[in-house]
Structure formats: structure tokens, C-alpha cells
Chains A and B, each alone.
Chain A
Amino acid sequence: MPDGTDIIYYYDGSFEGLMCCVFESFIKGELPVEIVGPGEHQVSLFAQREIVTDIEQARRVIAGIGNKIGGEALQFIQRSFLTCLPGKERSILLFLRKGFRVGQRIMRMPTDDAVNTLFNAVRHLSNEVHLLSGFVRFSIHQDVMAAEITPKNYVLPLLAPHFVDRYPNERWLIHDKTNSVVVLYEQGKTQLLEVEEFTLPAPDEEEVKFRELWKLFYDTIAIEGRYNPKCRMTHMPKRYWENMTEFQPGGKAGAENEKPRETAAMRVLPEAKRLVK
């Protein structure tokens, strides 16, 4: 197979779509210079081709990966697909080209460039998921728990199961502002929904009380004589702070002055559904 063909693939941004790109690349015996998702079209000197997603074709590729390179590798590229690695699509294609050549052994070759790039990206993803499982902050709006996050990676598919184990009998949602998705959980079922605009209602009195109690606890638990902001920053990078209760400004007064957007917090869930693309 040639190492570079002057062509750019466009696909619909789904995992199945990417699998069809892989299929196309193998059938045509070409290696695209780039694989580009929707909304990233650019003027370019290279030839372009739209790859149409064909679920049947995608299934064949996925089954092929499972058989030839193994389940571990399949899970690995599914995770790679969730990372924020620039050009992850082409990296995944490169990994699969190598994988189909060497087989299962590829998962034991972390120093190989094709593997290493994805390994590091997946590690970054897993770390972010682990950190967020602690840093997510829910607000309770009547009987719905809602949280907002701004992660770098597409973490919700990996983060949601943790909270399913934790709050199986509650109704909750997590809004990923970076990727404009919401995960909704209700009666044993999770749903991922794309949303365009989504705002949470203002907190009610009880919610404000517990936020203030938490801030009080957070400020009190630190020992002044051991003040060490650098150590804190290492463990909890500042980009997470914006969504964490303990770093929100203003006491009770601040929250009261804010004009309530929605009085009935119950509307949180229908609101999410209304905005589905």
C-alpha cells in the first residue's frame, strides 16, 4: 500500500463513518493525507472525497478488527476515537494498517509510533475521566441532579457508567459544554443527546444552602500552616475550577440577585429534550 495519496476523506464524524473510511482506504489501496469530520471543511489543494456511511460496511470492518487484531484493540480504537488528539482519524487508520499486518501483537508494541500516539492520547482521556469522576459537581433542582463540565476529550460515554453505579435511583444529567452533549439518566437508562443551547435553572434555597456549606467546609479543612497552592494546582489543574462549587464567587446574596431563568426546576429534563438537534 502506498504511504501517501494526495486525497482528503470527508466523513460524517461518527465512529461507523470512520470505519467506512478505513474500508475505503483498504479497498482503494490508498492512504489519505487527512480524514476530516463535518464542519471542518477547508479549501485545499488536495483532491477530496466524501465517504458515505454504510452501517453494513462499518460492521464488517469492526468484525474484522475483532477477529484479526482482537477485542482489546477494538476497545482501544473506540477509546482513541473519543480523545481530543488532532488528526485522530488518520492516527487510527495508521494503527489499523499496522494492526492488520502484525495482529494481536500490536497491543504489546507501545513504543511503535503508530501505537504510541494513540496510547498517549488514550492515557490523557482516561486521566481526565478519572479526575472528572471526582470533580463533577451536581446541583439539585427538585428531583433532578444536573452538572456541567468543560472537558478536553469526549468523556461522557466513559464517565456516565461511573455515575450510573453511584446514583442508580436518581434522575441526573451531565452537560458537556465543550462538545455540546448531554447525558441523561432516568430509570436505568442513559441517553446521549446533542444540544445546541442548554442552561440550568437558578438554584433554589436548599441548593444554595448546601453550596455554601460545602464552601465553608472546603475553606475550613485546609491547614494554614501548610499552605501550598502549587501542590493543589498540580493535582487539580485550574481549568477544572470553573465548574466546581468551591470556586464559585459570591455567597447567598450573589445567588439571590441573579435573575431566575426558570422557576420550575422540573423543566430541566423537557428542556434538554426540546433542544435536541
Chain B
Amino acid sequence: MDIFKKLEILTDSAKYDVACTSSGVDRTAMHGGLGSTVSCGICHSFAADGRCVSLLKVLMTNACVYDCKYCVNRRSNDVPRTTFTPRELAELTIHFYKRNYIEGLFVSSGVIKNAAYTTEQMIEALRILRHEYRFSGYIHAKGIPGASEELLNELGMLADRMSVNIEMPSNDSLKLLAPDKTKQSVLEPMRFIRDRKIENKNELTVYRRAPRFLPAGQSTQMIIGATPETDLQILNLTEGLYRKYGLKRVFFSAYMPVVEHSLLPALTTKPQLLREHRLYQADWLLRFYEFQASEILDEKNPSFNPFVDPKCNWALNHMEFFPLEVNKASYEELLRVPGLGVTSAKRILRARRAASLDFDALKKLGVVLKRAKYFLTCRGKVKEGVRFRQDEVLQSLMSKKEFQMYRSSFFLPDGTKQLSLFEPPVVLAEDVQKCLTGQI
């Protein structure tokens, strides 16, 4: 098979993998070598679906002994199979890298023969890259559940990041759809990587130049919408993974119906992109905004509000927290304001040391006030011209798309309320107006 056909098949079967990040390590080229990494990561292109292309994301092989129901590469699926030789893959990486097409390699694989053999093939490709080409670019390798600790360690000494996919948000779903995998077989390598990283940290304190094990840590991903878990369950699991396993990232992937099966959603089902989007928003709140999962969702509200983002939803439910005075609020408090992000909050902190800020100053700092204006005061005053009419407030708090969705869900085109079995979400009905006018 020629290299074009191979690349097409092995890219096509790898594209459902979500992660394509290249962040977390700073490194320049070795003596006589090639390649560097920067900790912020670099996107080299964006595909037609809007996802960042940072790494050459391919499978080592799409031949697989497993029969996971949701996967295009499952044993029982009748598709052409092919395999890269380790050298082919390494050379392709170098050629792409030199042309600055990519930041490095993301290598995953179907399981060929067994987990150990598959991992050995990946190790060989990485060894050629790191040792023969003296390549210092980014490498993300997929940990294959069932590989021995020795092999995982070897792979981890060559790669920057490793990910072991937990695939499904619960053990029951895993049993149902991926009968060859168990929760245990997934969590074990994750635990090993965590412990090995701690050990490596000690090695590095003793000897600064000790070889580094997975300097960019580990990540995982799960499929959303193929199984019945609630958003709350998924978010709690995510938080648990960050805490217990020290993961760098948890990725979510809206299930794309690629396979006809009685246990799976029909092929015509649309991927739950909005739900995936909300999960990422909540994930950001956990990682950068000092939120706890329990603040975002709870037993009473186990699903995300489809109309407003999780932070805005929290704010609307905690109006007693607002309005905040821009010139006094702490960094953590500023982060709770809808519309203010990490960058804006930091800029405010820096700027207000020199002079007290008004709304004009905020605008100059690049702070977007569309939503934030309802939750902030400057020198004790609300922004001039801000009115708390329900329609206006809702329109500002929602994106155009969300607002249209909201209108069409609960109102007829002439503006009268639509008869519906479901009432509008509590916070978004008349309460909003009451809440906002009452408090501010």
C-alpha cells in the first residue's frame, strides 16, 4: 500500500481522538538535533470543523483485536486495515516537522496481536525519532491498557504526554459497549503513571539532568452521549480524575454515530455538541476559576442549563454575591463574574494599583462588558444606561444562538408564551428580573 493511502486510512481512524494539544513543556533543540516545544502550545492549523491541528495525529495501525461497539476500528467492522512501520511514521513526522506543518506527533493505535506488541511498535517509532533524529518536538502517545509497567515506563521516558482513555463515563457503560475493557484495566495504567511521575520528581531533585518521565503529564478522554450518564455524574468523575490522578486534561467527545448497533444511538442521531461545549466550560471552571463540581451541578439540577453557560448560571443563582466593586474585589471574586476571564481579571488587578478604575478604563483594558456590566460597579456606581429589562438582560447573557433557541422553545413568534409541558428553566423566567433589580 502506498504512503498516501496509508496516511489517509490511519488519519481517518484517528480523527475521533480529541486531544491535539502541545502544551506543558519548554524545551529547545538538543545539540545536533531538531525540534523544540513551548509551554503554551502552538496550533499549526485549524481543520474545517474548527478544531486545532497541532500534532500529526495518526494511528500506528487500525487493525484491532478488540470489539468495542462505538469504535470504527472494532474487529467486526469491515474496513481496509493497514499499519505504519515505526520507521515510516518517524520519517513522516520529521518531514512534516521540518516544514513547520506540525508541533510533533500524536500516536495512538489499535491493538495488534496484544497490548505489549502494540506498545513495542510505538516505542520503536519514538526511539527512532528521539535517538536517531535527535528530535525534541512534542510527542503524545496513547497508553494501551494491558501493557506492562516496564513498557509503559519505556514509552513514558520517550513521550511528553501520555493518555489512557477511560472511554465511557461509568463502569456499566464500559461493560456494555467495550466488553474487552474494564475500569480496572484503564485506571491501573493511570495510577502507575501518576506514581511514576512522583518518583521522577524526586529523581529530578537529586539530579537536575535526570531523564524526565512524561514532562507534560497525562490526560484522558471519554465519549459523551452514547450512554445515559447525567452531566452531574460526568462532572463529578472529571473532578475526581483531576484530584486523584493529577491529570492535566480531561477531554470530552460528543458521540458521532459511526456504527449501527442496537446498544447505540441511531445513526441519524445528531452529536450532542452543545452538551460537550457545556462540559468544557465547566471543566475550565474547575481548572482555572476555582470552582468545585458541586457548585456547578447538584442532585436537584443534574443537567446543564442549555441556555446560559455554567458560570452565568451560577451567578444567576447567587445574586447575593453581586454586584462586585471592581476596585475592591479579590482575584477569586472577579473570576466569578460572567464575562470576566483569567486575562481580564489579571489586567484589572494590575491596572487598579495605579489608578481607580471606571467603566471607560475597563473598556480600554479590553474587558468585555456585555455580560459583566450587570454584575459590577465601578466606584460604587452601576454602568450608565444599564437597564434591567428581562429581555435585554437575557439577550446580553446569552449568545445569539442561545437566545434564539430560548425564544423558540418557550415563545410563539408573536411573543406570547407557548404552551409547553416543560416550564422555562427556573432562573430564566420572571425571577431573573426580580433577582437583578432586587439586588443591584
Contacts and interface: CB of A to CB of B under 8 A. Distances in A.
Interface of A: 105, 108-111, 116, 120, 123, 130, 133-140, 145, 147, 162-163, 165-170, 210, 212-214, 216-232, 234-236, 244-246
Interface stretch (B110-118, B171-179, B201-209, B354-362): B354-362
B288 interface: no
A231 B15 contact: no
A213 B11 CA distance: 11
A145 B100 CA distance: 10
B350 interface: yes
B28 interface: yes
A227 B50 CA distance: 7
B25 to A, nearest CB: 13
B318 interface: no
Contacts of B48: 219, 222, 227-229, 232
B56 interface: yes
Contact of A235 (B52, B92, B347, B365): B52
Nearest to B30: A168
Interface residues of B, number: 56
A257 B271 CA distance: 43
Interface in B1-21: 3-4, 7-8, 11-12, 14-16
A146 B42 CA distance: 20
A169 B32 CA distance: 6
A248 to B, nearest CB: 13
B29 A210 contact: no
Given A110-B347, A110-B350, A226-B273, A232 B50 contact: yes
A214 to B, nearest CB: 5
Interface stretch (B33-41, B140-148, B213-221, B406-414): B33-41
Contacts of B361: 111
A163 B311 CA distance: 39
A231 B353 contact: no
A123 B350 CA distance: 16
Contact of B353 (A108, A170, A213, A222): A108
A246 B44 CA distance: 11
Interface in B29-68: 29, 32-36, 38, 40, 42-54, 56-57
A122 B28 CA distance: 25
B303 to A, nearest CB: 22
Given A111-B361, A213-B4, A216-B7, A136 B50 contact: no
Contact of B99 (A116, A214, A221, A227): A214
Nearest to B53: A221
B364 interface: yes
B363 to A, nearest CB: 9
Given A216-B7, A232-B47, A110 B351 contact: yes
B95 interface: yes
B101 A137 contact: yes
A123 B365 CA distance: 11
Contacts of B296: none
Contacts of A223: 15-16, 49, 51, 256
B15 A110 contact: no
Q: What's the dominant secondary structure at chain B's contact region?
A: loop
A216 B4 contact: yes
Given A133-B42, A218-B53, A140 B98 contact: yes
Max chain B CB contacts within 10 Å: which of A133, A166, A213? A166
B314 interface: no
B388 interface: no
A101 to B, nearest CB: 14
Contacts of B14: 221
A111 B365 CA distance: 6
Which of B101, B351, B365 is most buried by chain A, counting CB atoms within 10 A of its CB?
A: B101
B264 to A, nearest CB: 15
B44 A135 contact: yes
A193 B361 CA distance: 41
Given A222-B47, A227-B49, 4 more contacts: A134-B43, A168-B29, A218-B47, A221-B53
Contact of B98 (A170, A220, A227, A230): A170
Contacts of B101: 137, 214, 245
Contacts of A134: 42-45, 54, 100, 103
B268 to A, nearest CB: 11
12 contacts: A111-B355, A111-B364, A134-B42, A134-B54, A135-B45, A147-B100, A221-B14, A221-B57, A226-B50, A235-B46, A245-B99, A246-B45
Contact of B256 (A130, A222, A225, A228): A225
B289 interface: no
Contacts of A231: 46, 49-50
Given A111-B351, A147-B100, A216-B4, A210 B47 contact: no
Contact of B46 (A105, A110, A224, A232): A232
Given A169-B29, A169-B33, A210 B8 contact: no
Contacts of B12: 220
Given A109-B355, A145-B99, A147-B100, A166 B29 contact: yes
B52 A105 contact: no
B96 interface: yes
Contacts of A235: 43, 46, 50, 52
Contact of A220 (B11, B96, B256, B271): B11
Contacts of A170: 34, 98
Nearest to B14: A221
Contacts of A212: 4
A212 B353 CA distance: 54
Nearest to B43: A134
B41 to A, nearest CB: 9
